[in-house]
Structure 1
Amino acid sequence: MTILVTGGAGFIGSNFVLDWLKASDEPVINLDKLTYAGNMDNLASLEGNPAHRFVQADICDADALKRIFASDDIRAVVHFAAESHVDRSIHGPEAFLDTNVTGTFRLLEAARHAWGPNAASDGRRFIHVSTDEVYGSLDRDAPAFSETNTYEPNSPYSASKAAADHFARAYHHTYGLPVIITNCSNNYGPYHFPEKLIPLVIHRALKGEPLPIYGDGTQIRDWLYVGDHCSAIRRVLEAGRLGEKYNIGGFNEKTNIEVVRTICALLDERRPRSDGQSYASQITHVRDRPGHDKRYAIDATKIATELNWQPAETFDTGIARTVDWYLANQGWVDRVTSGAYKNWLEKQYA
């Protein structure tokens, strides 16, 4: 038997595949469309590994999905594939509808038809990986998001993920598909494409470029090291209850400006600027993006109590590991930051 991982050349997906094959001899079919955020460099260490089979295909391609399910005895799907950047969803929402909603629907349909009505008793599992952004925005003194919070998405991205969550839940309740949904907080760590805050700041700081901060930088996020997210998903796949949702968080609420200043301080220690100034001098505040949510926070009590999962990294240890990885892998960064990437940054942060 094998597992099917969608989006396995992206940031979280590639980390999951690498971690999985370090700890398990169960083969992986890795399905990825290879958009700008998918990168085969992430999987270079798996070259020649017979337990890893890569398939370049779109999750919206029903025929491709049918062939994959017909070719192997797939016991589990771990569904990461998604358009995930809020800024890009504001400029071009249709791609998010296509991939996140239609793609999820096609994947659910493929699994339903391949596995049949006895999927749950046969030990099949469908892990749908989602985001805390489906819950909307929190006031500063409000309780953290629990699994019972209502959905109040505020961006085209979060709306598309909310719709996908609803489809996944409906397929469990209508067809008995063995679905489990996870909603995670902001991830960070190795192989993160440099459009999101942490890798963007590291990349631009080292190049001596302005570090763009939306508005006053007081937006709050709960930061989850990607390795901890992967361990949580493995635990959900192993022992999660069918039809349930599990929030996965890092217990690390930080303002954006605090995160950026922490990165600057780490870079000051590890790779000081030639002029002796702090990288923090490069911080530049830019116009806030439309509808910017002020705070996300995850209550991960359920996964902690039911599945005995806790993150291994604090923010201090995780961000240090992340900075060190980027410093040691500048070749990877150079290869993924193409001309199209530079044009995007100029458009977004002008």
Structure 2
Amino acid sequence: MTWLVTGGAGFIGSALCHYLADVSDAPIIVVDKLTYAGNRASIEGLEATGRLRLVEADIVDQSRMTDLVAETRPAAIFHLAAETHVDRSIDGPADFVSTNLGGTGAMLEAARAYHGGLSGDQRDAFRFVHVSTDEVFGSLGEEGAFRETTPYAPSSPYSASKAGADHLARAWHHTYGLPVIVSNCSNNYGPRQFPEKLIPLMILKCLAGEPMPVYGSGLNVRDWLHAEDHARALLIMAQTGTPGETYCVGGGAERTNLQIVETICRLMDERFPEAAPHQRLITFVEDRPGHDYRYAIDAGKIHRELGWTPARDFETGLAETVDWYLANDSWWRPLQERVYRGQRLGRTA
């Protein structure tokens, strides 16, 4: 049995690879283009032990993906490769259309060619787990939560491209019988997240004593899910999920962006009291264009049908995340020096 993970050098992808290596002896094949957000350092420990093989390739290359899937003969494909940052999608939507739509189409076709040649138990067991986001559902008001039946209403180039990819995945199931499972998750946090995202950006700004930029009033709400809890949910889907079904995965931890930043400041005060109060670094800046107000996930279906619930409470998980970044500057400092220095993105309306 082999697992194939697209985007396995990214944040959630690398969390999944580490989790698969912990709970299974199966070989792990990662296909990753190693763009700015794909970091080989996130999986090099698994490479060094021989548990994982990295194939540096672009998922848009359908011919190569077809050959790779045929060669590696995976029991499941976890499709996580994507452009994911809303601000970058505002600045340059073309990459999001190409990777998230074109790349997903290429992977689905590669999986269809492979699945068509399987028989018996191998055919019955194979799964294509398409990993998406709750942002495809648009924005919530003060009440309610997204669930599997929520109509799509994406509002950014990123979420629109992911919504299109979700529709492709479902179409390949309904038209071709490919055993696709779609996952829509809430905001993830944890180790090895590229520092353009809210939590690592604020940790590193705070550590450097730099202004911590909060969009608008800071009252936009997100539901936070630890990446390791998400990885566990994805493996459960691959092993016991029903083809053609969608599962919403959330951490049940709604917080405003301002609450997140204030909590990071408090944690940094505890670790560096000589620099307290870190809350003085909070700076309100011009809001993101089209900023969705609130996301929340109803994860009742995956709990009832597959028995999954998040294992980490948010306060513990966030404190562990802060400590990971403090202890692993060898992972993030090269990114700051060569790739991203913490500058504002997504200003174009």
TM-score (norm 1): 0.96
Secondary structure at the residue paired with 1:341?
coil
Gaps of 5+ in 2: none
Contact map agreement 2:289 2:346 (CA 8 A) in 1: no
Tell me the equivalent position of 2:299.
300
How much has 1:217 moved relative to structure 2? 0.2
Alignment of 1:97-246 (within 5 A): 97-116=97-116, 121-141=123-143, 143-246=144-247
Secondary structure at the residue paired with 1:335?
helix
Per-residue CA deviations over 1:310-345 (Å, capped at 9, x if unaligned) read 101111111011111111112211011134412x61
User: 1: distance between equivalents of 2:24 and 2:44?
Assistant: 18
Amino acid at match of 2:343: L
User: 2: distance between equivalents of 1:338 and 1:96?
Assistant: 25
Which deviates the most, 59-68 or 206-215?
Answer: 59-68
Alignment of 1:35-54 (within 5 A): 35-54=35-54
User: 2: distance between equivalents of 1:291 and 1:63?
Assistant: 37
Amino acid at match of 1:235: I
User: 1: distance between equivalents of 2:274 and 2:105?
Assistant: 49
Tell me the equivalent position of 2:337.
338
Amino acid at match of 2:298: D
Tell me the equivalent position of 2:88.
88
Secondary structure at the residue paired with 2:53?
strand
How much has 1:271 moved relative to structure 2? 2.2
Contact map agreement 1:286 1:349 (CA 8 A) in 2: no
Alignment of 1:2-81 (within 5 A): 2-81=2-81
Amino acid at match of 1:238: Q
Which deviates the most, 117-126 or 234-243?
Answer: 117-126
Cα gap change, 1:110 to 1:47, in 2 (>3 Å): closer
Aligned residues: percent identity?
54
How much has 1:63 moved relative to structure 2? 2.1
How much has 1:47 moved relative to structure 2? 3.2
How much has 1:206 moved relative to structure 2? 0.6
User: 1: distance between equivalents of 2:242 and 2:8?
Assistant: 24
Per-residue CA deviations over 1:242-291 (Å, capped at 9, x if unaligned) read 100000000000000000000100010012344xx311100000000110
Cα gap change, 1:347 to 1:190, in 2 (>3 Å): closer
Contact map agreement 2:289 2:347 (CA 8 A) in 1: no
How much has 1:117 moved relative to structure 2? 7.0
Contact map agreement 2:91 2:346 (CA 8 A) in 1: no
- Measured on the aligned residues, the alpha-carbon RMSD in Å equals 1.5
TM-score (norm 2): 0.96
Cα gap change, 1:291 to 1:348, in 2 (>3 Å): closer
Contact map agreement 1:154 1:291 (CA 8 A) in 2: yes
Secondary structure at the residue paired with 1:113?
helix
Secondary structure at the residue paired with 1:242?
coil
Amino acid at match of 2:326: L
Which deviates the most, 46-55 or 161-170?
Answer: 46-55
User: 1: distance between equivalents of 2:317 and 2:299?
Assistant: 18
How much has 1:73 moved relative to structure 2? 1.7
How much has 1:224 moved relative to structure 2? 0.4
Per-residue CA deviations over 1:182-225 (Å, capped at 9, x if unaligned) read 00000000001100000000011111110000000000000001
Amino acid at match of 1:199: P
Per-residue CA deviations over 1:124-170 (Å, capped at 9, x if unaligned) read 100000000000000012x1001000000000000000000000000
Cα gap change, 1:148 to 1:75, in 2 (>3 Å): same
User: 2: distance between equivalents of 1:103 and 1:315?
Assistant: 33
Gaps of 5+ in 1: none
Contact map agreement 1:214 1:287 (CA 8 A) in 2: yes
Amino acid at match of 1:70: A
Alignment of 1:264-275 (within 5 A): 264-274=265-275
Contact map agreement 2:265 2:277 (CA 8 A) in 1: yes
